[in-house]
Amino acid sequence: MAESEKRGDKFTWTYAIWLLPYPAQNYLWWLAPKWDWWIIGLITLALTVIAIAGSICINLARRRWWRVVSLLITPLPWLVIIYIAAVTGITPDSVQFALNKQAYLAEIERTDVPSGEPRFRTFALDSMFKATTSTTLVYDESDEIALPRGEQSTAWQQRTQKLCSEKKECVNLYPGSDWPFSVSKVGEHFYIVYQNFIDAFP
């Protein structure tokens, strides 16, 4: 029995699969936005920790040292993958945008605007305010949203204020505020606005 267990003691990366559900939910939550992904995330994290801790204890008891080492360094490949994805701009929001870009463009084409006026549309990417961060996809044909805060033209400010009050197409850059936010370009006239507080929409 001891000899059989010793033969089964080998280094393996297969334990990395155990961690797959946790990062995957950040890329898949929008497929079912009505689910309570906060609770799902907690359950997933708890089950993953229990599985890894339990397996470490079992392998320690059986003196499977290489299995223990495998479990301890399993997170490293995921940290590298997540870092590379962040550096290259492959974020959950950019993936969602890429998969739904044609639907967004079709919706924008149906938008009625006065003749000669640039189109402006907003789409909530995390309507549940995941992690108290509002993520908004903005289509701004004038591209003025990419300018530093406060440098947008008066016409742009008046136009966006009107759209916000009449059609709830809102984005607030909070000029002069200390609240952190960022604007990232993800396509032609498309921007993702991150605002780290819940009150991102009027």
Q: How far apart are CA 137 and CA 122, in angstroms?
A: 6
- CB 77, CB 15: distance < 8 Å: no
**Could you give the residue ranges of the DSSP H alpha helices within the chain?**
2-7, 21-28, 37-61, 65-73, 75-87, 92-109, 154-167
Question: What are the extents of the domains in the chain?
Answer: 2-87, 92-195
pLDDT of res. 6: 58
pLDDT digits (tens, 9 = 90+) for 126-174: 644 444 457 788 999 999 988 887 788 888 888 888 888 777 777 766 5
Q: What is the pTM of this model?
A: 0.65
Q: How far apart are CA 148 and CA 140, in angstroms?
A: 15
106: its two tokens: 């079709």
Calculated CA dihedral for residues 37, 40, 41, 42, nearest 10 degrees? 130
Spatial CA neighbour of 101 closest among 188, 20, 202: 188
pLDDT digits (tens, 9 = 90+) for 79-96: 898 889 878 878 888 888
Q: How far apart are CA 196 and CA 181, in angstroms?
A: 6
Q: How far apart are CA 160 and CA 164, in angstroms?
A: 6
